[in-house]
Amino acid sequence: MTATHDNGDTGGVPRRPPADRDAALCLGGVVVSGVGTSALWLASGVWVKELTGSDGLAALSLLALWAPVLAGPVLGTLADRVRRKPLLIAASLLMAAILPTLLLVDSPADVWLLFAVLFVHGTAGVVQDAAESALVASALDPARLGGFNGLRTTLNEGVKLIAPLAGAGIYAAYGGAGVALLDAATFALAAVLYAALRVRESPPAKGRRAPMSEGVRQLWAHPRLRPLVLAGGTAMLLAGLNGALLYAVVEGLGRPPAYAGVLAALQGLGSVAAGLASGPALRRLGERRFAAAGIALTGVAVALRAVPHEPAAWAGSVAIGAGLPCVLIAALTAVQQQTPGALLGRTAASASTLLFAPNVLGLAAGAVLVELLPHRPLLVLLGLALLLTPLQLPLSACRTAARSPSDANPA
């Protein structure tokens, strides 16, 4: 699928307005919806914890949100077989309509509805991520994608500086239903921003369509993409285990569950720094070195969370926020640069599946382990495992600065 831009009547010759405008609108939609999503992410765990008293069920609320990435190759195919702009709008409007049903949740018996809405939320997120990645890749020069993805991470993760604390405040004042209404409003606003995109997409190609598995095949056969995705998936598996221990860490500090919002905000601060530095760092280090450095930093940070003092927990949260996005930015940028446009939706979604499905498994396993074992020794073991993960990455890969436009469409 290709995208063209028309800025009005130019005597039959289409004029291309600055791609920055469409990129900015995409960023706006991601950030606006991300504010509500980040707030609901925190509120859902606190909500389930207060309704049921279970750390394991609170962790499973995160699992419900992440589980749809397992269907990434299937869901991402939508972004290759329909126009991407209408798909972004439709997914946003769907969530704006569904989220108000959480007004009905007020007892432990209603927790299933919260899990169901979170599952739909995660499904819409997988589709939107694939459509947005493909749309942006068609509008920007390949050499600029690393900087764009870094800025996207800065803005998207940076909402953790505000949204979790705001979500905790809204939750304290109005309960989980208030946070759900905030999330619905942000999705409605995101739909408006996506509708303002000027990109005009050509109809998806007719005739024989590539199978849904083509995205996975593209990733596995590509010598630059495969090691990044494998290392990223390993890191996200361990990060999922760490994420499931969040409320145990908070409890170990003697704080109420809502204190998780403070740690999430600090993690957002680290992600802002990583996103701002990612463009120059990718050009200087290359994808694999950049990813390896981020994974190693995450390992140190996770182990630091085992120290039962608040300053250590704060430092660990900031460092996790700075380290973990590095491998994700590196992998997504490489996928956008190395994948033909007609396959980019399903390949981006397949990459998300291979990166984030292990996170789902980690959350599920962590929800069990946190009920059975003390969390501090687990954190130390996870940190050590993360420090070993970059050994999967051969560090002799060429740097991202050495690109030609043809790299975006390898033979």
Question: Each residue of 117-158: pLDDT tens digit?
Answer: 999 998 998 888 888 877 777 666 666 666 777 777 777 766
More confident position, 53 or 397: 53
- Confidence (pLDDT) at 369: 81
Tell me: pLDDT of 338 over 90: no
Rounded CA gap, 215 and 352, in Å?
11
349-360 average pLDDT score: 79
Say if residues 4 and 14 touch (Cβ distance below 8 Å): yes
Tell me: pLDDT of 202 over 70: no
Half-sphere exposure at residue 241, Cβ-oriented, CA atoms within 13 angstroms? 23
Rounded CA gap, 235 and 361, in Å?
12
**Of residues 153, 182, 190, the one with CA closest to residue 41:** 182
Rounded CA gap, 370 and 354, in Å?
25
- Confidence (pLDDT) at 13: 35
For 17, the token pair is 């307005």
Q: What sign has the CA pseudo-torsion 242, 243, 248, 251?
A: positive
Q: Which of 17-21, 290-294, 399-403 has the highest mean pLDDT?
A: 290-294
For 106, the token pair is 């007020």
Structure letter (DSSP) for residue 5: E
The four Cα atoms 143, 146, 151, 153 give a dihedral, to 10 degrees, of: 160
Q: 4: which strand partners?
A: 200
The alpha-carbon radius of gyration of the chain (Å, integer) is: 21
- Confidence (pLDDT) at 2: 39
Given its phi and psi angles, is residue 398 left (phi above 0), alpha (psi -120 to 50 degrees) or beta? beta
Question: Could you write out the three-class secondary structure of 13-46?
Answer: CCCCCCHHHHHHHHHHHHHHHHHHHHHHHHHHHH
Tell me: pLDDT of 17 over 50: no
- Confidence (pLDDT) at 119: 92
Q: 199: which strand partners?
A: 5
Question: Which are the contacts of 354, defined by CB distance < 8 A and separation ≥ 6?
Answer: 72, 216, 219, 229, 230, 232, 233
Question: Which are the contacts of 184, defined by CB distance < 8 A and separation ≥ 6?
Answer: 36, 95, 96, 97, 99, 100
Say if residues 294 and 326 touch (Cβ distance below 8 Å): yes
pLDDT band per the 50, 70, 90 thresholds, residue 411: very low
- Confidence (pLDDT) at 116: 92
pLDDT band per the 50, 70, 90 thresholds, residue 209: low
pLDDT band per the 50, 70, 90 thresholds, residue 211: low
**Residue 273 DSSP SS3:** helix
Tell me: pLDDT of 391 over 70: yes
Full DSSP string of 162-218: THHHHHHHHHHHHHHHHHHHHHHHHHHHHHHHHHT--EEEPPPP-SSPPPTTHHHHH
User: Using CB atoms within 10 A of its CB, is residue 98 exposed (0-12), middle (13-18) or buried (19+)?
Assistant: middle
Q: For the chain, how many helices (H) and strands (E)?
A: 15, 2
Structure letter (DSSP) for residue 373: S
- For tokens 């028309």, the residue is 6
**Of residues 287, 395, 276, 297, the one with CA closest to residue 351:** 287
230-257 average pLDDT score: 85
pLDDT band per the 50, 70, 90 thresholds, residue 213: low
Q: Residue 83: enclosing H or E segment and its boundaries? A: none
Say if residues 267 and 318 touch (Cβ distance below 8 Å): yes
C-beta atoms surrounding 337 within 10 Å = 22
- Confidence (pLDDT) at 86: 87
- For tokens 């409605």, the residue is 188
More confident position, 287 or 397: 287
Strand 3-5 with 199-201, pairing:
antiparallel
The four Cα atoms 115, 117, 121, 127 give a dihedral, to 10 degrees, of: 110
Say if residues 403 and 142 touch (Cβ distance below 8 Å): yes
